[in-house]
Structure 1
């Protein structure tokens, strides 16, 4: 075959093929008219060289692999001499990684020193997708025992995608609806005492958990997943976008569902009422199961002094 067919079959350039020939890695025959003639062995050799190059092994080191193929082996690294090239390449990478690590450390040091001359050091922004250690553990105070078997009320609520959803008409199959107090935003403080309120912290983490296991939930039979809080659809839309959630949020700003089902709520700084953390499994319009994560300071709307 001519060099054009060889390059078409292997993806190599004409210049690269001629370079391989100069290195003695391939040895095409010459026709009477001077044109090079390549065969299937050359195709296999060029493919092997290119594969090695993709791993960082230069053509200058490819000879042992081609010799191994020439001896009739199925793979170019079936021979001991080829394994030695692998070890040398790994050693080169280790030296390079060590060198780059040292350079990175020095650059970070210089950055810190230089920034310290001009800028005032600030505390890092809190990451609300990661839970701090030693959070108080919530208890089940029995405020949601009445929910299992109840029908979802005929309420239509706004969603984070600018649409709406009717809770009594969620459709066939199971729906997962999880209620949460509120999600924080980077750079904005949570209510004072938030971490000390058992079960309050973790809304962003919970959303990420539902995101990361969304495929598994669908595979297990959940047709749809919703999160619900009393925050506005615009606030929820930012959370959906920032956390890359594959589902929408439902806004219950006036606690309509809480009033209809007597759901537990609690108060925090700046918030007269917030939903306690609950997860509903809903099928055919009925609450099939409830998973409970309460704060110690929970109350139902009828018992809550803040109304």
Structure 2
């Protein structure tokens, strides 16, 4: 008869934390039945699955991408990477590393060029040569990495544009989502819903609006999305029943972003700014865009805006700010 173990023993034998095991359960990577006494117990198959996920994580492959490897094990293979679908994940991970390595190499070359030019200029000045600085600019033809937040961005100020929002009821408004569905703001469902609004996301090969980095609060949409992705499970644990990103970009554009950034939640598209007009949300213009959503996050419960985050800076840690608020303001059964 197979030996069964509780979650603590499973975690210890697999070399992970209990929290990690629970996260894998939420992702649907493992499951465990309950014994008559109410305790969940795990078997050797679940242990092997957790070990596989841990080993993949050590290689930089996130748990959210581990499903093909576990399917391969469940199919009877001795190793999780003996199936074609698993090899595809390897190839994707290698391609991502290649892009990262290429970008790091480009940055190193640029830094080396600046170091050598700066050292040469300093030496010339020290010798009294008075030569002009004719260093050439580094090659900047490589695609920008929109998931990295540049230094020196201007900090947005609180102009009071969102002060009226807490306590407002959401309108009966239905908008399309990146996964082909729709969202009805008047019927979001029980529990808290997090909706973070952002102006627009950049993507490789597509230029951001001219002067984008100089607009306070504009830059950082991809970094914000990645932060919500990386803390999605914790947000759920803290009481966020749903998380949505929202912008005025069309659903197809948003779907590409969701796929490329591997977001575990959909985006809402409001090309006509219907929600902004209904609630008086702050917007701003940019080159090529008459208006864009200002970066803002709504916490909604029972159809009412419970809390608003505005302004938001820096965006690359905003999901953690939302998480801290949810943990500090838990909802009880009497609140539901």
Equivalent pair of 1:131/1:202 in contact (CA under 8 Å): yes
CA deviation profile, 1:169-226 (whole Å, cap 9, x unmatched): 0000000000000000112110001000000000001000000000110000000100
Q: Does 1:293 align with 2:298?
A: no
Q: Within 5 Å, which residues of 2 pair with 1:238-277?
A: 238-277=256-295
Q: Does 1:230 align with 2:251?
A: no
Runs of at least 4 residues off by over 6 Å: none
Return the offset for 1:294.
6.4
Secondary structure class of the residue paired with 2:168 = coil
Q: CA 1:158–1:294 in structure 2 vs 1: closer, same or farther (change >3 Å)? A: same
CA deviation profile, 1:100-157 (whole Å, cap 9, x unmatched): xxxxxxxx9xxx9xxxxxxxx7622100010100000111100110000000110000
With normalisation by structure 1, the TM-score equals 0.56
Q: Structure 1: which 5+ runs fail to align?
A: 1-107, 113-120, 296-307
Q: Does 1:147 align with 2:165?
A: yes
User: Which of the pair has more CA radius of gyration?
Assistant: 1
Separation of aligned partners in 2, 1:123 and 1:212: 30
Query: What residue number does 2:188 align with?
Result: 170
With normalisation by structure 2, the TM-score equals 0.51
Q: Within 5 Å, which residues of 2 pair with 1:195-234?
A: 195-234=213-252
Q: Within 5 Å, which residues of 2 pair with 1:89-104?
A: none
Q: Does 1:131 align with 2:157?
A: no
CA deviation profile, 1:222-280 (whole Å, cap 9, x unmatched): 00100000000000000000000000000000000001001110000000010000000
Q: Within 5 Å, which residues of 2 pair with 1:278-289?
A: 278-289=296-307
Equivalent pair of 1:139/1:294 in contact (CA under 8 Å): no
CA deviation profile, 1:50-72 (whole Å, cap 9, x unmatched): xxxxxxxxxxxxxxxxxxxxxxx
Secondary structure class of the residue paired with 1:195 = helix
Equivalent pair of 1:140/1:294 in contact (CA under 8 Å): no
Q: CA 1:203–1:170 in structure 2 vs 1: closer, same or farther (change >3 Å)? A: same
Separation of aligned partners in 1, 2:295 and 2:150: 18
Separation of aligned partners in 2, 1:122 and 1:136: 23
Q: Within 5 Å, which residues of 2 pair with 1:30-41?
A: none
Query: What residue number does 1:180 align with?
Result: 198
Q: CA 1:278–1:181 in structure 2 vs 1: closer, same or farther (change >3 Å)? A: same
Equivalent pair of 1:147/1:290 in contact (CA under 8 Å): yes
Query: What residue number does 1:56 align with?
Result: none
Aligned positions, number = 177
